Amino acid sequence: MDLTSLIGIFSGILLIVSAIVLGGDVHNFYSAPGMMIVAGGTMAATLLTFQLRDVLAAFRGAFFVFARQKQDPNDMIGTMLKLCNISRRKGLLGLSDVKTPSPFLKRACNLIADASDEEMIRSTLRTEIDSMKMRHFIVQDVFRRMAVYAPAFGLLGTLIGLIQMLSDLQDPSTIGQGMAIALLTTFYGSLLSTMVFLPIAGKLRSRTLVEVINLEIVFEGAISILQDNNSISVYEKLSSFIPAAMRKPMKGLKS
C-alpha cells in the first residue's frame, strides 16, 4: 500500500475539516442539492466526454495508486541481470521458461527465445511501450477533465442558488443564509478538484513515468542480452536510467 498517497489525502482533508470545525458550525457546510449538482454534474460531463470503459479504467487506476507500491527500477535491473545469467547458462532458448508476472517482460523473453532479429524485437517492444503510454494518458485525462468540470459545476450551482435567492427578497434576513448555501457548491467543486482529482491525476502520471522507466529497462536489457550478453555491460547500460545517488551496486542486485 502506498502510504504517502493515503497520508497526503487524509492529512489534507483533516486540515480542512479542522479549520471548518474551529471556525464555526459544521452544519453550515452541508448542502445536499449542492453535492448533487457538483458530483452528479461532474460525473455526467465525464461520461459524455469519455467512454464508460475509460472511466472505469480510470477509477481502477486510482485504486491502484493507493493499493500498490511503485516498483523500484533497481529491482528491474536485477531481474534483467538474472535473465542475462540464465541465457548464458542455458542459452537464449532458456528464457522461454522464465516465469514472471509482467506480460511485457515475458513477451521480451519469448521474442529473444524465438530467435527474433533485433529490429523485430525493437519494433514490437517499442510499439507496446507507446501503446501503454497512450492508455495511461487517457486514464490521467479522465481525472484532469473531472478537475475542470467540478469547479465549473460548483459555479453553476452557485448561480442557481443566487437566482433562487434573488427571486425572493421579501425577507432580507434570509439573504445571508441564502448566499452561504449558494457558495457551498463552489466550495465543493474546488475541494474535489484540488484535493481529489488533480492529486490523483498527478500521482497516476508519476506512476506512469516510473513504469515507463521499468519498461525501457526491459527493452534495453533485452537488446543488450541479444547483442553481447555480458552482465557488466548490461548493468552499466541499464543503470543509466537511474540517478547516480539512487543506483545500487551490481553486487547488491539479485543476479
The x, y and z cell numbers of residue 171, run together, are: 425577507
Q: Is residue 195 part of a domain?
A: yes
Cβ atoms of 214 and 71 within 8 Å: the answer is yes
Give a yes or no: residue 95 inside a domain.
Answer: yes
Measured between alpha carbons, how far is residue 83 from residues 36, 117, 250, 251 in Å? Answer: 54, 18, 14, 15
Do the domain assignments include residue 194?
yes
**pLDDT value for 171:** 67
Question: What is the per-residue pLDDT across 90-144, written as a single tens digit (0 to 9) for each?
Answer: 888 888 888 888 899 999 999 888 878 888 889 999 999 999 999 999 999 999 9
Q: Is residue 63 part of a domain?
A: yes
70 falls within a domain? yes
Q: What is the DSSP letter of 193?
A: I
* CB neighbourhood size of 33 (10 A): 14
Looking at residue 219, its pLDDT comes to 92
Q: Residue 176 is placed in which grid cell?
A: 445571508
Q: What is the pLDDT of residue 255?
A: 46
pLDDT in tens, 173-193: 667 666 777 788 899 999 999
The span from the CA of 226 to the CA of 87, in Å, is 9
pLDDT given for residue 21 in this prediction: 82
pLDDT value, residue 2: 67
Q: What pLDDT does 148 receive? A: 96
Instruction: State how many domains the chain has.
Output: 1
| Predicted local distance difference test score (pLDDT) of residue 116 | 81
**The pLDDT value given to residue 91:** 84
- C-alpha cell belonging to residue 103: 506480460
Render each residue's pLDDT in the chain as its tens digit; 255 residues: 567 777 887 888 888 888 888 876 777 788 888 889 999 999 999 999 999 999 999 998 888 777 777 778 888 998 899 888 888 888 888 888 888 888 999 999 998 888 788 888 899 999 999 999 999 999 999 999 999 999 999 999 888 888 877 777 676 666 766 677 778 889 999 999 998 899 899 989 988 898 999 999 999 988 988 887 788 888 888 888 988 888 888 876 754
Q: Which cell goes with 19?
A: 479549520
Task: Classify residue 181: in a domain, yes or no.
Answer: yes
- Inside any domain, residue 4: no
11 lies in some domain: no
Which domain, by its residues, includes 163?
31-252
Is there a contact between 182 and 161 (Cβ–Cβ < 8 Å)? yes
